[in-house]
Structure 1
Amino acid sequence: MMIARTSQPKVNLIQQIGPAIWGIVSFNILRIVTDLTKKDEFWSGGIRIHANGLMISIAICYIITFMWRNGLKKLFSRAHDIPTNIMKEYSICLFQVIVILNPIIFISERLGWIYMGDGFIDYILVNAIYIPLLLLYYTLLRNEVINKSLTDSRVHIEQIKADKLGTDLQLLRSQYHPHFLFNALNTIYFQVDDSNTVAKRSLEQLSELLRYQIYNVDDKVSLDQEITYLTSYIAFQQQRLTERLTVYTDFGDEWEGLAIFPLLFQPLIENAFKYVRGEYKIDISLKRQGEEIIFKVSNAVLEHTVNKQGIPIGGPVKSGSGLTNLIKRLDLLYPDQYILRSKREPQLFSTELIINL
């Protein structure tokens, strides 16, 4: 923001003094052509006449600039792209220069503000000098408007992308934000008999998991926070499954200063609990390797277990809405910065997620 506020006055200053500079340059080029080609002294004659001519030249440039800027603004505001009828555009500019320049010169001469010594010849010289210079000036103004239009378009496109990103993330977050369930659990908690401590503890655990999903999903969290959540989630999942289930976890301890968007590992762990069979064993690990975080989860499966659709359980990573949403979130939050792959073996299904922070 500081850069934008610093650069804006410079742009305004250039727009304010640009016509004056162009008027001075044009007048001096005219003087070079008319004085030096006649072997007269440069800026010969009375200083009042030359000062008047200089002021009139600057005034013409300001009038032309005001008219052309408004015209270009309307021209580009109506078009979805850069106008292509260049010949018509410059023909209009040529006509405008002629009908503005010559009456001003004629009136100024009649009022005695300037001196046109050679009459018609001097009119031709003024037009021959000013018309090309003013058309060149129009080209500069036109390029300025084009650049601004393209910049505004890029900003608009980026804003649309950002809005879409926010909408997509909000849509995905809504699937992780079961407010109604969170409130319902609180109601059920107070309806459970106080003597049923196991049920109350389970409700407390589930409430804490949902609280994390609801209130800690918008921004990055520390790896320690995410690991605490995963630990609680694993403990809660273990309560509802058979005592035969064995879960091994290895979350490492080198997480200081690292942050990550939350709930990226939970769908993979959920998948493991959902499809674990056979030896009922799950292995979960989270390691740091330089700037990369490597998450691995594997679960035992039966060698020929298939789901209702005839697809082997523990199949492709992209199956299931939870994993599809995970991939969408990764694409939005870590584009080109992650690898997600799975491997199906006869009695083991494993998934690996690598994120470059």
Structure 2
Amino acid sequence: MLIARTLYAKVNLIHQVGPALWGIVSFNILRIVTDLTKKDEFWSGGIRIHANGLIISIVICYFITLMWKNGLKKLFSRAKDIPTNIFKEYSVCLFQVIVILNPVIFITERLGWIYMGDGVIDYILVNAIYIPLLLLYYTLLRNEVINKSLADSRVHIEQIKADKLYTDLQLLRSQYHPHFLFNALNTIYFQVDESNTMAKRSLEQLSELLRYQIYNVNDKVSMDQEITYLTSYIAFQQQRLTERLTVHSNFHDEWEGLAIFPLLFQPLIENAFKYVRGQYKIDISLKRQGEKINFTVSNTVLEHTINKHDSSIGEAVKSGSGLTNLIKRLDLLYPDQYILRSTREKQLFSTELIINL
């Protein structure tokens, strides 16, 4: 913060003294050309005349700088891109210098503040020196405004991207929660007539699952927290399916130091419960491989049935919002850091998710 303030102060100082320095340089170049080419002594003549000329040169530079900065600000605020009509832009600047510089010289000479010894020739020399130097100064001002405009545009674009990513992520979450809640309420609905005890237990499980979804979605969680949630979710899903269903889960214990954005594995597990058929077996594996997380879920299917998930995840997501939203979340949270693929072998459909943390 201190370094940034120091740099900002230096930049402001340059902006404040820049026109004065340019006025001093321009005046001294004029004196070199007019005095030494005439074989006169440099800065010959009265000190008062030269001091007046130097002050007038500085004032002109400050006035033109202020005018050009305001003009550039308006020019670039109206245009979406950098103006392309350079000839017109510099022609206007040339006209401004001529109509400001020459009347000031004429009036101050008549007032006796400066001395133009050779009349028209000195006017020509003043214009020949000041016009190129001031147009060069305009180029420096213009480049500064362009660089600032481009920097502001980049910051604005990055802010828009960040806002869009946040909005997209929030939208995905808002779509996901009602989807899960709808399925959960269906589970409880079919249990009410069977046993009030089971219904109460399901409500307790649902409460814990929803609490995790609502309060832990904005930041990363530890892998232990995510595994606890997945274990509860699996137990909850098992209650609404046939007793023939066999679920085998293998969660490794070594997760120290690893954190992850939550609810990335649940849609794949939900998908397995939704489409399990045949032998009604689901296998779930969650392993650590260094800084990578390897998640695999497989479920049995009927061999003679063409499963709509049998070719790839890309085609699988077409039929449901859960996996579609999962891929969008992965793209937002782990861009170019994950692999999601699925395979089918006769009666077994498998999905693998690898995340590089």
TM-score greater than 0.5 by the shorter chain? yes
How many residue pairs are counted as aligned between the two chains? 347
Residue of structure 2 in register with 1:303 after alignment:
303
TM-score, normalised to structure 1, is 0.90
**Aligned equivalents of 1:176, 1:352: Cα separation in 2:** 21
Please say if residues 296 and 350 of structure 1, whose CA atoms lie closer than 8 Å, have aligned partners that are also in contact: yes
Residue of structure 2 in register with 1:221 after alignment:
221
Please say if residues 305 and 312 of structure 1, whose CA atoms lie closer than 8 Å, have aligned partners that are also in contact: no
Which of 311, 316, 324 is matched with 2:312 structurally? Answer: 316
Cα RMSD over matched residues? Answer: 2.4
Residue of structure 2 in register with 1:117 after alignment:
117
Residue 42 of structure 2 aligns with an amino acid whose one-letter code is F
Instruction: Pick which of 281-290 and 206-215 moved more.
Output: 281-290
Please say if residues 176 and 214 of structure 1, whose CA atoms lie closer than 8 Å, have aligned partners that are also in contact: no
Residue 283 of structure 2 aligns with an amino acid whose one-letter code is D
What's the offset of the Cα at 1:44?
2.7
1:19-77: per-residue Cα shift (whole Å, max 9, x none)?
11211111121122222222333323333222222211111111001111111111111
Please say if residues 338 and 353 of structure 1, whose CA atoms lie closer than 8 Å, have aligned partners that are also in contact: yes
Residue of structure 1 in register with 2:52 after alignment:
52
Structure 2 alignment gaps of length 5 or more:
none
Residue of structure 2 in register with 1:29 after alignment:
29
**Aligned equivalents of 1:267, 1:155: Cα separation in 2:** 35
Q: Any residues of structure 2 matched to 1:114-193 within 5 Å, and which?
A: 114-178=114-178
C-alpha change, 1:198 and 1:3, in structure 2 (3 Å) is: farther
1:266-319: per-residue Cα shift (whole Å, max 9, x none)?
00011111111222222211222222211111112221223xxxx445553232
Residue 124 of structure 2 aligns with an amino acid whose one-letter code is I
C-alpha change, 1:273 and 1:336, in structure 2 (3 Å) is: same
2:67 pairs with 1:67: yes
Please say if residues 176 and 322 of structure 2, whose CA atoms lie closer than 8 Å, have aligned partners that are also in contact: no
**Aligned equivalents of 1:5, 1:229: Cα separation in 2:** 47
What's the offset of the Cα at 1:11?
3.0
Residue 249 of structure 2 aligns with an amino acid whose one-letter code is T
Q: Secondary structure at the match of 1:200?
A: helix
Residue 251 of structure 1 aligns with an amino acid whose one-letter code is F
Q: Any residues of structure 2 matched to 1:232-247 within 5 Å, and which?
A: 232-247=232-247
Instruction: Pick which of 333-342 and 23-32 moved more.
Output: 23-32
Q: Secondary structure at the match of 2:218?
A: coil
What's the offset of the Cα at 1:345?
0.7
C-alpha change, 1:42 and 1:69, in structure 2 (3 Å) is: same
**Aligned equivalents of 2:66, 2:121: Cα separation in 1:** 29
**Aligned equivalents of 1:70, 1:338: Cα separation in 2:** 50
**Aligned equivalents of 1:235, 1:4: Cα separation in 2:** 55
Please say if residues 301 and 313 of structure 1, whose CA atoms lie closer than 8 Å, have aligned partners that are also in contact: no
What's the offset of the Cα at 1:332?
1.1
Q: Secondary structure at the match of 2:176?
A: coil
**Aligned equivalents of 2:181, 2:99: Cα separation in 1:** 75
**Aligned equivalents of 2:49, 2:222: Cα separation in 1:** 76
1:117-170: per-residue Cα shift (whole Å, max 9, x none)?
222211111110000000111111111111112122222222221221122111
Instruction: Pick which of 118-127 and 4-13 moved more.
Output: 4-13
Instruction: Pick which of 341-350 and 79-88 moved more.
Output: 79-88
Q: Any residues of structure 2 matched to 1:97-108 within 5 Å, and which?
A: 97-108=97-108
Please say if residues 223 and 258 of structure 1, whose CA atoms lie closer than 8 Å, have aligned partners that are also in contact: yes
Q: Secondary structure at the match of 1:175?
A: helix
**Aligned equivalents of 2:258, 2:110: Cα separation in 1:** 80
Please say if residues 304 and 312 of structure 1, whose CA atoms lie closer than 8 Å, have aligned partners that are also in contact: no
Residue 20 of structure 1 aligns with an amino acid whose one-letter code is A
C-alpha change, 1:199 and 1:265, in structure 2 (3 Å) is: same
Please say if residues 249 and 285 of structure 2, whose CA atoms lie closer than 8 Å, have aligned partners that are also in contact: yes
Residue of structure 2 in register with 1:337 after alignment:
337
TM-score, normalised to structure 2, is 0.90
Please say if residues 176 and 325 of structure 2, whose CA atoms lie closer than 8 Å, have aligned partners that are also in contact: no
Residue of structure 1 in register with 2:250 after alignment:
250
Q: Secondary structure at the match of 2:177?
A: coil
**Aligned equivalents of 2:303, 2:24: Cα separation in 1:** 88
Please say if residues 217 and 262 of structure 1, whose CA atoms lie closer than 8 Å, have aligned partners that are also in contact: yes
**Aligned equivalents of 2:150, 2:86: Cα separation in 1:** 18
C-alpha change, 1:34 and 1:78, in structure 2 (3 Å) is: same
Residue of structure 1 in register with 2:281 after alignment:
281
